Amino acid sequence: MLEAEWTESDVYKNTVARFNKAAQTINLDPNVAERLRHPKRALVVSIPVRMDDGHIEVFVGYRVQHNITLGPAKGGIRYWPDVTLSEITAMAMLMTFKCALVGLPLGGAKGGVRCNPTLMSRGEKQRLTRRYTSEILQMIGPDKDIPAPDLGTDAQIMAWLMDTYSQDIGHAVPSIVTGKPIEIGGSLGREEATGRGVIYTVIEAAKHLGVTLDESKTCAIQGFGNVGTACAKKIAKIGCRVIAVSDMSGGIYNSKGLDVQELLDYAKGNKTFEGYKGGDRLSNKELLEIPCDVLIPAAVSSVITKENAPRIKCKILAEGANSPTMIEADPILKENGTFVIPDILANAGGVTVSYFEWVQGIQKLFWNEKEVNSRLWEIMSTTFRKMIHVAAEENVDPRTAAMISGIRRLSKAMLVRGFYP
């Protein structure tokens, strides 16, 4: 079944190629390198779900654990129409390096179900989540593998996952997931943590480049879901103008700046930006090419390619999404002087506060939001500076430097634990 499921995706090829580049730069032990090119485990499941019209539809789902040397596997679950095993494997690899980079005692995993959540009712999504959870139940656990929200999933889905797991075990197990609602043990600050973390790295990048983030600076954001909306709120709060945002149906542009709160309210009551009066419509393609100071892709993978990279005119590209930039675009962006904050750092705020949520759940001692945010700032800003230091030391770009930092920490742990059997 696994082999039948495997078609190598661009995002998988990109991830392995970027890993190889970092591994070669530091002459990584070839045995460690070979191990890290493969996931530890991958599970493919069929998920029969009774749809509202009475028929049963069978969805395909995955859970992949890439590495668990440093601790339990950690990674989101996405519900998306083009989810594949290869893409989920690449995302699990990225999670391994992300957790190692920011210094968390966690490994890397990812899960996904091939479905279109925008076309499913609440009841269908609940039944899908419960059956998917029961199919992957043997693989997950608070000390084994802890899921979280990702593309197309949210706190409610995590609550159903937590409930299904807890029903099976016989008592409440809040630490089985992160990104869950506050009422069942979620952490304050988790919902906005990924976007907040993205902007923390933008603040550090601006400092590094000698740029002042004020109202003369503009920002464009692709994707207006969990990550995109939190980015918009935070960057508007520090005084920059958000000039364009988009969702899957296209975007909205206003050179004078969009009213972020008004947009959030509009998005709550409407499925698309169609009819919104505060700006002009633009396509997702146009949004990426808009001249701006900060561009944040916060939707899907592989949107920045060798074709559009020459037309990208931002100073800072902060990768809120996972793997939004194809490897062929990297040298073009560098040539054009774009400073790229790579995904494994830029969007690491999500897994960092997920880690805080897991710790709070285990200790049954909850922190206030100020404490969550200040610990997040500490980790994101320190890791940014570490990345810059490694980039200078190894004479590499920030993306390779971030990868090197993660690989170094992980490889030391793998070598000291030794090889089994």
Interface positions with ligand NAD (CB under 6 A)? 149-152, 194, 222-228, 246-248, 284, 298-300, 320-322, 347, 350
First-to-last C-alpha distance (Å) of the chain: 28
Q: By C-alpha distance, which of 282, 286, 289, 247 is closest to 264?
A: 247
Of 80 and 367, nearer to ligand NAD (C-beta) is: 80
Which of 74, 110, 125, 217 is catalytic? The answer is 110
Task: Say which residues have a Cβ less than 8 Å from residue 172's Cβ, sequence separation at least 6.
Answer: 162, 166, 184
φ, ψ of residue 84 in degrees (nearest 5):
-130, 165
DSSP designation for 205: H
Residue where the block lists tokens 């485990």 = 41
Q: d(Cα 250, Cα 300) in Å, to the nearest integer?
A: 13
Sheet harboring 292-297: ordered strands across? 280-282, 250-253, 241-247, 218-222, 292-297, 314-318, 339-341
Is 322 within 8 Å of 342 (Cβ atoms)?
Answer: no
Active site residue 110: yes
Taking the complex as a whole, how short is the minimal distance between the CB of residue 229 and ligand NAD, in angstroms?
8
DSSP designation for 317: E
Of 246 and 338, nearer to ligand NAD (C-beta) is: 246
Of 346 and 407, nearer to ligand NAD (C-beta) is: 346
Taking the complex as a whole, how short is the minimal distance between the CB of residue 30 and ligand NAD, in angstroms?
31
Q: d(Cα 329, Cα 303) in Å, to the nearest integer?
A: 10
Of 111 and 398, nearer to ligand NAD (C-beta) is: 111
Taking the complex as a whole, how short is the minimal distance between the CB of residue 300 and ligand NAD, in angstroms?
5
Q: How many CB atoms lie within 10 A of CB 364?
A: 9
Taking the complex as a whole, how short is the minimal distance between the CB of residue 419 and ligand NAD, in angstroms?
32
Residue where the block lists tokens 């902007």 = 199
Residue with smallest beta-carbon separation from ligand NAD: 225
Letter string b/e over residues 23-41, b meaning 16 or more CB atoms within 10 A of that residue's CB = bebbebeeebbeebeebbe
Of 396 and 402, nearer to ligand NAD (C-beta) is: 402
Task: Say which residues have a Cβ less than 8 Å from residue 378's Cβ, sequence separation at least 6.
Answer: none
Taking the complex as a whole, how short is the minimal distance between the CB of residue 356 and ligand NAD, in angstroms?
13
Q: How many CB atoms lie within 10 A of CB 411?
A: 21
Of 330 and 414, nearer to ligand NAD (C-beta) is: 330
Taking the complex as a whole, how short is the minimal distance between the CB of residue 195 and ligand NAD, in angstroms?
8
Is 292 within 8 Å of 218 (Cβ atoms)?
Answer: yes
Residues involved in catalysis? 110
